[in-house]
Structure 1
Amino acid sequence: MYPLRGPLWLFAILFSSRALSHPSTAPYLNTTTTGNPKVILDNDWNPTAFIAFLLPLFYNWTVLGLASDTANSWALQTGLHGLASLEIANLSSCIPVYKGSDYPLLQTAHTFQTYELLHGELPWKGVFAKENTTFEKLGNDPTSGDPRRIVKEAFTTKGYYGYPNVTFAEGSAAEFMVKAVRENPGRVRIFSAGALTNVALAVRLDPDFAKNTAGLYIMGGYVDRFLEQAIGDVLRADLVSDINFIVDPEATKIALTADFPNITLVANSANGVIPDQAFLDELVAVNDNPLSRLVRANQPTFLPFWDETAAAVMVDPEAVILDEVEVYVDVDTSYHSPLYGYIRPYQAALMPPGLRKVKYINKVNDTKVAEMIKTVVEFPPKDCSELGTGGKM
């Protein structure tokens, strides 16, 4: 983990944390709720992001559906990745994919690129990187330009991957979220590992949506954007670019002030599990299957398992969370601020009106998270008939 500096150091001083001691192993079944937990996973899906939905499946959770959003690429392209992953996993017939909003609420490629001229370039620009057809032909997902563009090379140039033969479910992602929560009040968790546009739209579509969920889990909310940049480490700077929030700051504010029963943020603490080649090779060596081959061929060895760590926090908090705090957070939605899209944590005594308390995960058990990732990739369900059987580590 990184040394505490600037706002992050202050964050640690201002808020008293709850240090948790956990065993290194735990049953690979959810024991915190009765019945069968249900979840909707909203993400900017890519060829290896399916690990985020394998985790709840392995814990006997019901995945009601996947939603695609615009964050690292456009919602159409990321949704096609979700469809392709499900098809390779033989799960297309039981888990639908709903396409999310093409655009954030206010942010556009133009406003983002103008922002960078005013405040400096971000090391990772996500969907608002300038359009580059040369990179796309090499297999990169589309950025900027037309959100309806499909770059098939992002599927066909990847090892053990391919363009999906299945299609999206009918209706928008936000409408699906609202409908699912109405049909299962108090039972549906919302997992967001991309931008929060679809979640914000669901909040606005139905005033009872947020309070009738079982909670919101978010991969995002970095405290110190400038962490490690002082020593010129480009990768470390990249790790704290909160692109999920920057793509749609206004949607982030809507989500973080909505009346969800609980909100959990996993951000800086998600930087700890970075696979090396030995990690990826072991996946196939233990059990050579379509998904383990897919991860070994396409998972970068220089980026953390961000989304997967957030999913691990959601499905097995007792085993994964080592330190957490409860704080009030706001989101900077001033376009002319250098921290546009970043959260601002507050004590109750100092917070402005209209904020709500969230759970901020300071530290996770990286060894446990890595173990969970390995297990679900090495032993995925063979098809829909195996869902609900779960397993033990």
Structure 2
Amino acid sequence: MWPTRSLSSLFFLSLALGSPVSQTEKRYAILDNDWGAVSFLPFLIALKNDVQVLGLVSDTANSWQRQCAYHALANLEVGNLSCIPVYAGATYPLINTPERFQAWESVHGKLPWEGAFALENATAEALGNDPTSGDPNRIVKPAFIEGFPTTKINHSTSAANFMVEMVHKYPHQVSIYSVGALTNVALAVRMDSDFASLAKELVIMGGYVDVNMYQVTGDYLQADINSDINLMVDPEAAKIALNAEFPEIVIAGNVANQVQSTQEYLDEVYTVKNEYTKLFHDHYGTEFPFWDETAAALMVDRSLATNTTTAYIDVDISYGSPNYGNIHVYQAMLKPPGVRNITYVNRIDGKPEWISIHFLHQRQYHSLNSSTYTVNKPSPTFLNKYICFARISSCFGFTLGQELS
């Protein structure tokens, strides 16, 4: 199994425990994910590090995109961050379907984690599992341990078109963060030939290399951890996105398995009581690595990567291949035509010193015209006196200033 370390050595360094990453220019991000019940850490990492989150986008990977979009809404509501819009992504991959995926498995063997393409299981859904197969538009309410949302998806445009609009509005400043299937990114690439080149970067979680032996020498959970469902849900989209003309593509693949939580750490986080830390403590668990959070930390602070490789990459889109949806990497002298270079992160590290979760404390904000807004009332959804606001002028008309004493 990949070496693991306490979460405190990584994402709370960049999330809530250290100072925001120093920026010389304004940074924006669009976060594309198969959002779940405790998926709030990526946008909190971005917000804490002075990255303006333009919107959250849903995709189909672990579950259907509509269920994931509702989870995104609910995660934002927990922190009174519903000013951040949520856009519905593509419901289906470019080609793949549950039936097609299951037919592939009948030839090449089952995956330990099948995501949205697992057989429909009404019993599991009644117990709180997100929906798989069946009607892609159904909502399974028992899965919303974070609370069922009262806010609505923004249907003013599609997720892909929203991405295109934002990179044109903020050229070379928008990070595209995608830690589910790459369907929406591929659609945006095909919709607008300038989309990729106008973005700042593409940061993904997925794209494991040489993990087959890990899948057979460990237990079922280890096989699960080392299966590449994000790319395998939509291999064709992954091929399009990972060969597009982004200024930089950063892949958190194997490295995302290095960062693991422990019960001791969950307890440590919960020394500060609020709705986010309660959800994190009670429901995040210790079974799985911090996949999405690793990619988010790399997006806000690339210096956390202590070992990287520049390689050329391609995605196997041969339906008859046992490696359908997996990546292959090449050195420059041996690469096939039509592939591009990427930054593959091999190792990530961080400073272990952290103080306490202070990102939810009452803060003072300064508007763009230098007027000061002091927020005195605590959020009714939070325990104690902690409050969390996005650094998004479109929401509140202010930007982050100094923390109140």
Provide TM-score, normalisation by structure 1.
Answer: 0.87
Q: Is the contact made by 1:60 and 1:389 (CA closer than 8 Å) also made in structure 2?
A: no
C-alpha spacing 1:143/1:49, structure 2 compared with 1 (3 Å)? same
Paired position in structure 1 for 2:278: 293
Identical positions, percent = 49
Distance across 1 between alignment mates of 2:216 and 2:121: 30
Q: Is the contact made by 1:48 and 1:299 (CA closer than 8 Å) also made in structure 2?
A: yes
| Unaligned residue ranges in structure 1 (runs of 5+) | 4-21
Q: Is the contact made by 1:67 and 1:79 (CA closer than 8 Å) also made in structure 2?
A: yes
Amino acid in structure 1 at the alignment position of 2:312: Y
Paired position in structure 1 for 2:382: none
Amino acid in structure 1 at the alignment position of 2:152: T
Distance across 2 between alignment mates of 1:25 and 1:125: 32
Paired position in structure 1 for 2:400: 388
Residue number among 269, 274, 279 corresponding to 2:255 in the alignment? 269
Distance across 2 between alignment mates of 1:259 and 1:245: 19
Say whether residues 1:306 and 2:291 are aligned partners: yes
C-alpha spacing 1:232/1:383, structure 2 compared with 1 (3 Å)? closer
CA-to-aligned-CA distance 1:29-71 (integer Å, 9 cap, x gap): 223x422210000000011111001001001110000000000
Say whether residues 1:168 and 2:153 are aligned partners: yes
**Superposition RMSD on alpha carbons, in Å?**
2.3
Distance across 2 between alignment mates of 1:261 and 1:376: 34
SS at match of 2:57: strand
Distance across 1 between alignment mates of 2:274 and 2:186: 37
Paired position in structure 2 for 1:28: 19
Distance across 1 between alignment mates of 2:191 and 2:13: 42
Say whether residues 1:53 and 2:43 are aligned partners: yes
Distance across 2 between alignment mates of 1:25 and 1:138: 35
Distance across 2 between alignment mates of 1:240 and 1:263: 21
Paired position in structure 2 for 1:86: 76
SS at match of 2:133: coil
Amino acid in structure 2 at the alignment position of 1:72: N
Distance across 1 between alignment mates of 2:118 and 2:19: 39
Q: Is the contact made by 2:360 and 2:388 (CA closer than 8 Å) also made in structure 1?
A: no
| Unaligned residue ranges in structure 2 (runs of 5+) | 4-9, 362-385, 391-395
Paired position in structure 1 for 2:373: none
SS at match of 2:319: coil
Amino acid in structure 1 at the alignment position of 2:26: N
Distance across 2 between alignment mates of 1:138 and 1:131: 13
Distance across 2 between alignment mates of 1:164 and 1:90: 12
Distance across 1 between alignment mates of 2:389 and 2:318: 47
Say whether residues 1:198 and 2:204 are aligned partners: no
Say whether residues 1:2 and 2:26 are aligned partners: no
Amino acid in structure 2 at the alignment position of 1:246: M
Q: Is the contact made by 2:203 and 2:250 (CA closer than 8 Å) also made in structure 1?
A: yes
Distance across 2 between alignment mates of 1:25 and 1:43: 22
Q: Is the contact made by 1:107 and 1:247 (CA closer than 8 Å) also made in structure 2?
A: yes
Residue number among 15, 37, 40 corresponding to 2:27 in the alignment? 37
Say whether residues 1:131 and 2:120 are aligned partners: yes
Residue number among 87, 97, 115 corresponding to 2:86 in the alignment? 97
Paired position in structure 2 for 1:323: 307
